[in-house]
Structure 1
């Protein structure tokens, strides 16, 4: 695959998987929490809605380097993205990102406690296997033949 193809595959996987674990730093430790991702490949950005009362905002203000871990365990597809995060009070972007899922946390897009978390990816790595059943068959065949299985694509990508 070319760099352009690998870059496109990262964005496709992020869009398809949709949810990730956002890992931030806190006083020398790491903390992860699930987040609904809104990828914008043209902007080289992944957006999230967050709450001003959340600790992640404070953590990002001090240590903006974050990791996003996307996992589709059934499809055996994974993406890890390292990037820089920032939090803003962009009300227009809040309205653009508003979805039915956001209603679980806020009553409306007009809630003043909603913030936009933007992650600008710098580096990604993905693992793209053909799926669980095929992967298990390939692993079993490799074990019998004493060889390594072809588990699909793995690429490191500069974004």
Structure 2
């Protein structure tokens, strides 16, 4: 597998713009995905999520810390898949720093003792940045008619 070493800025930009992702963890022999609101900290090389201690993600991460984050903006045809290592933290100051409107849907305040931080340190990523749904559709139709492969935009594997 060939990786681009210096293109992780595009990964961070797309993840930041999309904001929500599907977090995939391992639960026994099964993989389990659920939607999460991401807090991007490019300077720290980390993505943070607020989670509840009762959600069992902490148990899953303790046993199998490798996770996958899948970001998708289907309207704009932009996708990012980030692989990394997760850890659960109980840093109350960081929880207050990350506290925002999405968190208010789940907890009354950042002082709720059941809130935990899920920190993901990325190791690699892949992104797809297409020109948009209508243009992509036109390119696919043109390629089908001409038997050529369509240029669907940028795709790169990136070491984080």
TM range (shorter): over 0.9
In structure 1, stretches of 5+ residues that fail to align are none
Quick one: distance in 1 between partners of 2:134 and 2:97? 38
Q: Which runs of 4+ in 1 moved over 6 A?
A: none
Quick one: distance in 2 between partners of 1:3 and 1:61? 29
Quick one: distance in 2 between partners of 1:7 and 1:63? 25
Taking structure 1 as the reference length, what is the TM-score of the superposition?
0.96
Taking structure 2 as the reference length, what is the TM-score of the superposition?
0.96
1:122 aligns with 2:123: yes
**1:2-151 correspondence to structure 2 within 5 Å:** 3-4=5-6, 6-151=7-152
Give 1:3 shift: 3.6
Quick one: distance in 2 between partners of 1:123 and 1:88? 22
Ranked by relative contact order (alpha carbons within 8 Å, sequence separation 6 or more), the top structure is 2
Aligned to 1:157: 158
Quick one: distance in 2 between partners of 1:62 and 1:68? 18
Quick one: distance in 1 between partners of 2:9 and 2:149? 28
RMSD of aligned alpha carbons: 0.9
**Number of positions where the alignment pairs a residue of Structure 1 with one of Structure 2:** 157
3-state SS of paired residue (1:53): helix
